[in-house]
Amino acid sequence: MTFFRADSASLVQRTTALLLACLCFVLTYFGAAVWTQQQPDTLDVSAMLLPVQPWLMWPYLSSPLLLLWLLLAPQSLTELRLTFRRLLLLTCLAACCFVLLPMTLQQGRLAQTPTALLDLIQQLDPSVNLFPSLHVAYAYIGWRQFWRWYPAIWQRLLLSCWLALLMLSTLFTAQHVWPDLLAGLALAWAVQRLIHENCWPQATYYSAAAALCVALWQMSDAAMLWYFAASFALIAWQHALKRVDFLHKKQGRHPLWVWWCYAPYLLLYRLTWLMVRARQTPAVRQIAPHLWAGRRLTSEEVQGLPSDIEVFDLSGELPEIDALRHHSYQHWPLPDIVPATPQQLAPIVAAIELRLRAKATVFVHCAMGLQRSQQVVAGLAPLLQTLPLPSQKNVLPTGVSQ
């Protein structure tokens, strides 16, 4: 592993990822445990327990070190984000399984406490949350990551032995039974395959949200949570396929069926837009004499633009306001959060260049004005270098303060 690379994540970023991962674990793991322990019909699988081997309690207790190592070790920001997303999805999917398949080892664990330390472990660790084993799932993710970080054979051998013992310790300290181990391996393998460097992060977050909605439905029996789970799962699927036009926005509006399918997603973007708007930052910037860029505007903010503006809308998530929709309007959806590819940017840049060379006045905007519109403006840099700079760059309508 190469330490302190130029693209390494900072200590603050790594610590933040660790704290968020721990917060997710505490809320979901112990939330599922509290609920399961209150259920009268939990399945006791103690008959499948293997005899306790007291010396394996030490590998079992080393599991917190694995999480610390995975997230706090010097690594690139890309690696940190990937590891965090995998751990997040693993934890949420496991919590969903804990609630849907409630099991316990209560009777068998009480009968297998040959040492005081093992007795303490069994008191601290809930007797539920069995299928799948998160210890095993985390160990598999750690093994795959350490295999990339440490190329030396002796390093890989030591780490493989440690993680193998950690997995086995779940069986021989009366914490899990063998189906839990196999399920943990299968779940971690699937998450590792699905969540990779080229996967859009939205696929992870909305999959985790769908899993949590299913778990909350089981805990509360609120039927509305099924709608949220289905909607979040559908959104995750569309992002996994990298579809930028799945909202089918036409002439600045979404069809009614899109609202039925994706209402939580659309409303979340509207809320985010309102928060960005409340920050009182310039809504529009004049980049060149005939080029303006910014976020989605309000009717009042449109008054700061020329009357003959042509609109290039890069956002698929928010409807266009009527004041701009009736201008010359073109919709070119780009992915949010992740950078657009050169192949996605090229036709948009070419279309805007064509209009600018024709002396048209162009307004290009995305939802928040933070990424997509800036990427398109950056793609126009060669053309903009030949144009004079405007006298005023930050533009807001009269009566709107900065």
Q: Tell me the domains of the chain and their CATH numbers.
A: 11-197 (no CATH), 276-395 (3.90.190.10)
Q: Provide the 3-class DSSP secondary structure of residue 228.
A: helix
Residue 174 zone, left/alpha/beta (φ > 0; ψ -120 to 50; rest):
left
| DSSP secondary structure string for all residues of 145-173 | HHHHH--SHHHHHHHHHHHHHHHHHTTTT
Mean pLDDT across 381-387: 82
Q: Is the separation of the CB atoms in 86 and 192 below 8 Å?
A: yes
Chain centre distance of CA 118: 37
Among 192, 147, 184, which residue's Cα sits nearest to residue 166? 184
Is pLDDT at 330 greater than 70 in this prediction?
A: yes
What average pLDDT does the structure give for the chain? 90
Q: What is the pLDDT of residues 143-201, one digit of tens each?
A: 999 999 999 999 999 999 999 999 999 999 889 999 999 999 999 999 999 999 999 99
Residues 138, 133: Cα–Cα separation, whole Å: 9
Is pLDDT at 117 greater than 70 in this prediction?
A: yes
Q: Provide the 3-class DSSP secondary structure of residue 400.
A: coil
What confidence tier does 395 reach under pLDDT thresholds 50, 70, 90? very low
What confidence tier does 266 reach under pLDDT thresholds 50, 70, 90? very high
Mean pLDDT across 325-352: 93
Instruction: Give me the pLDDT at residue 388, please.
Output: 66
Specify the DSSP class assigned to residue 341. P
Judged on CB neighbours under 10 Å (0-12, 13-18, 19+), 67 is middle
Instruction: Give me the pLDDT at residue 396, please.
Output: 42
Residues 43, 386: Cα–Cα separation, whole Å: 73
What percent of the chain stands above pLDDT 90?
74
Q: Provide the 3-class DSSP secondary structure of residue 297.
A: coil
Instruction: Give me the pLDDT at residue 124, please.
Output: 74
Q: What is the pLDDT of residues 247-262, one digit of tens each?
A: 999 999 999 999 999 9
Q: Is the separation of the CB atoms in 76 and 147 below 8 Å?
A: no
What confidence tier does 389 reach under pLDDT thresholds 50, 70, 90? low
Is pLDDT at 397 greater than 70 in this prediction?
A: no
Residues 62, 139: Cα–Cα separation, whole Å: 11
Is pLDDT at 17 greater than 80 in this prediction?
A: yes
Judged on CB neighbours under 10 Å (0-12, 13-18, 19+), 105 is buried
Q: Which helix (H) or strand (E) holds 346?
A: helix 342-357
Instruction: Say how many CA atoms lie within 13 Å of 309 toward its Cβ.
Output: 22
Q: What is the pLDDT of residues 220-243, one digit of tens each?
A: 989 999 999 999 999 999 999 999
The amino acid at 366 = C
Instruction: Give me the pLDDT at residue 118, please.
Output: 75
Instruction: Give me the pLDDT at residue 1, please.
Output: 43
Q: Is the separation of the CB atoms in 230 and 307 below 8 Å?
A: no
Residues 394, 253: Cα–Cα separation, whole Å: 28
Query: Considering only 44-53, 233-242, 392-401, which range has the smallest mean pLDDT?
Result: 392-401
Instruction: Give me the pLDDT at residue 244, please.
Output: 93
Q: Provide the 3-class DSSP secondary structure of residue 43.
A: strand
Residues 124, 374: Cα–Cα separation, whole Å: 51
Is pLDDT at 268 greater than 70 in this prediction?
A: yes
Q: pTM of this prediction? A: 0.89
Mean pLDDT across 369-392: 83
The amino acid at 315 = S
Residues 290, 357: Cα–Cα separation, whole Å: 10
Specify the DSSP class assigned to residue 291. E
Q: Provide the 3-class DSSP secondary structure of residue 99.
A: helix
Structure tokens at 21: 């991962």
What confidence tier does 399 reach under pLDDT thresholds 50, 70, 90? very low
Is pLDDT at 119 greater than 80 in this prediction?
A: no
Q: Is the separation of the CB atoms in 284 and 334 below 8 Å?
A: no
How many CB atoms sit inside 10 A of residue 117's CB? 14
